Amino acid sequence: MQTVPFCEILIGVAAIVLALFGAAPAAHAQEGELLYNGIRLPAQWPPADGPLSYEPMDTPWLESPPDVIPIDVGRQLFVDDFLVADTSLERVHHAATYWPDNPVLAPDRPWENKSSSADHPAPTAMVFSDGVFYDPQDELFKMWYMAGYCDATAYATSTDGIRWTKRALDVAEGTNLVETTRRDSGTVWLDLAESDPAKRFKMVLYTLESDRRLALSYSADGIHWTPAPTSGKPLGDRSTMFLNPFRNVWVYSLRAYERGGIGRYRRYWEHRDIEQGLTYAPDQPPFWVGADRLDPPRADLGTPCELYNLDAAAYESLIIGLFDIWRGQPDDRSKPNELCIGFSRDGFHWHRPMREAFIPVSETYGDWNWGNVQSAGGCCLVVGDRLYFYVSGRSGVQGSKASSVCATGLATLRRDGFTSMDAGDAAGTLLTRPVQFSGKYLFVNLDAPDGELRVEVCDLDGNAIAPFTRAKCRPVQADSCREPVRWKSGADLSALAGTPVRFRFHLRRGRLYAFWVSADASGASRGYVAAGGPGFTGPADTAGQ
């Protein structure tokens, strides 16, 4: 498998941005930052604080999309109409599927079995955000998790993401603990862009031992941690962080609460320096997002929903968010929280097209996830043609709010598989908005082994550009997450590089998930791969096939 050093990724991405946009003039600086996808941020960023609201969030990139959309960074997904000018295809959103042999990590060590929840034993080995990443340096999956209920932080590794090893370490002799501070949630981030080897891993932990704040630590190996000189202000539990690599900022997802109003919700803070990001004044982080009136309450409770947590990560050309939705607290079971999916193209505003659970709680007592499904930091990993989502679940106790056994499970999804544009026996089309690229080779993520896809490249008026016509396109019949599209002339798209064009997809009996124009025949997208995966040497896909 082809790999590219991380320094070359940065050089390539920088070259793309400069080639497409040039240096930002002073007027643009006043207007706001120009993003990789053509979206212009407003001059005030983050947006100003506003009143708490139970209304769905605005999505500025859909209300006023760029005249021309650069598509050099990442696979282009159809989760919204950002790329779509016109279509007769049906948009279908897809949920993840649980691994058949869950949980993949369960409490089986003495230090994981010593705590309790609501006066019931609560053996715990669960991600409560924490983090699951693939480390290309060691070629290992690495997981940090809560060991013992609100007790400590432990570490496990895997070669395949399924079978996990809890090897004894030297932090707490004879255990796999890496941090013994009592804690609520935390986030561990493998920062492949970090130049200081001692800060390659970053941990933000919500501590329970003093005045309950976010404490930042650094590590070279993910095992031995050194506290940073700066820690955060006292705040609500379940606060987390993530890296937005599109803008190179650390984002703090800060839990807040309005009694008698929207309940749990999120405030937002960002900074290029992760330490300085913790020094905000209490009134600085603006209202970000909460649950809203489109989140359906449970039929058995009727309780208005709240946003319990929000983890996020860069995936290909957008940011995915795992919204942990609280749908009420029954008296006789653990919280039936479950994960929903959201998408952002500017890093702040969220489009949430599917309000049903993306990764649900079980309704069957005795299942490992009968209660309180929560996400992992990093959100997902790219493992071959699948996305791996690690989540925690709690078995619960009937007749009690207790958590009981807290373990970690796995759910998977086709790569890019959040949303598909579908056609049946009757062929349909999709015409994109004007796009611009610097690559050569068109690729698609397509499920149409018994159908057919043809593509034509059009001018801004929708007229096909020879030789890239529908008639000259070689029909694509495949179920492939990385399938090239070719024309009979043999020409690649380099002659159209830098020229605004539209793509028109003609599909019959199939599902189209994504398209992208790659700089090389491997199909590398140069988009981000969330928490990584085997074959990737950095935070972006430079490997292709």
pLDDT number for residue 30? 56
From the list 219, 108, 113, 225, the residue with the least C-alpha distance to 166 is 108
Tell me which architecture the domain covering 67-92+419-529 has in CATH.
Sandwich (2.60)
Interval 80-97: pLDDT, tens: 999 999 999 999 999 999
pLDDT number for residue 213? 87
pLDDT-above-90 percentage for the chain: 90
From the list 318, 313, 333, the residue with the least C-alpha distance to 401 is 333
Q: What is the DSSP string of 42-101?
A: PSSSSPPP-----SPPP-HHHHS--SSEE--SS-EE-SSSSSEEEE-SEEEE---EE-TT
Sequence-distant (≥ 6) Cβ neighbours of residue 102 within 8 angstroms: 368, 369, 393, 407, 409, 410
pLDDT number for residue 215? 92
As to burial, measured by CB atoms within 10 angstroms (0-12 exposed, 13-18 middle, 19+ buried), residue 139 is: exposed
Interval 172-215: pLDDT, tens: 999 999 999 999 999 999 999 999 999 999 999 999 876 788 99
Q: Give the residue carrying structure tokens 């500025």.
A: 60
- Beta-carbon-side half-sphere exposure of residue 51 (alpha carbons within 13 Å): 4
Whether 101-414 and 67-92+419-529 are alike in CATH topology: the answer is: no
Mean pLDDT of the chain: 93
pLDDT at 149 over 50: yes
**CA 542 to CA 545: how far, in whole Å?**
9
pLDDT at 11 over 70: no
Q: What are phi and psi of 510, to 5 degrees?
A: -175, 180
Residue 140's beta-bridge partner residues? 135
pLDDT at 255 over 60: yes
Interval 381-410: pLDDT, tens: 999 999 999 999 999 999 999 999 999 999
Q: Per-residue pLDDT averaged across 103-110, rounded? A: 98
From the list 316, 379, 345, 318, the residue with the least C-alpha distance to 187 is 379
Judge contact between 70 and 36, C-beta under 8 A. yes
pLDDT number for residue 20? 39
Interval 449-470: pLDDT, tens: 999 999 999 999 999 999 999 9
As to burial, measured by CB atoms within 10 angstroms (0-12 exposed, 13-18 middle, 19+ buried), residue 195 is: exposed
pLDDT number for residue 29? 42
Dihedral angle over CA of 418, 544, 409, 371, nearest 10? -20
Strands 90-93 and 125-135, by their bridges, are unpaired
Domain ranges, ordered by start, for the chain: 67-92+419-529, 101-414
pLDDT at 336 over 90: yes
Interval 342-365: pLDDT, tens: 999 999 999 999 999 999 999 999
pLDDT number for residue 115? 84
Which position has the higher pLDDT, 28 or 475? 475
**CA 120 to CA 57: how far, in whole Å?**
40
pLDDT number for residue 3? 42
**CA 406 to CA 400: how far, in whole Å?**
15
Interval 262-307: pLDDT, tens: 999 999 999 999 999 999 998 999 999 999 999 999 999 999 999 9
- Beta-carbon-side half-sphere exposure of residue 79 (alpha carbons within 13 Å): 27
Helices (H), 387-464: none
pLDDT number for residue 26? 38
pLDDT number for residue 162? 98
Q: Which two tokens stand for residue 52?
A: 């708490």
**CA 218 to CA 195: how far, in whole Å?**
13
pLDDT number for residue 437? 98
pLDDT number for residue 297? 96
From the list 261, 219, 211, 272, the residue with the least C-alpha distance to 237 is 211
CA 188 centroid distance within chain: 15
Judge contact between 3 and 535, C-beta under 8 A. yes
pLDDT number for residue 117? 86
Interval 509-538: pLDDT, tens: 999 999 999 999 999 999 999 999 999 999
CATH number of 101-414: 2.115.10.20
Interval 16-62: pLDDT, tens: 443 433 433 334 445 899 999 999 999 999 999 999 999 999 999 99
pLDDT number for residue 9? 43
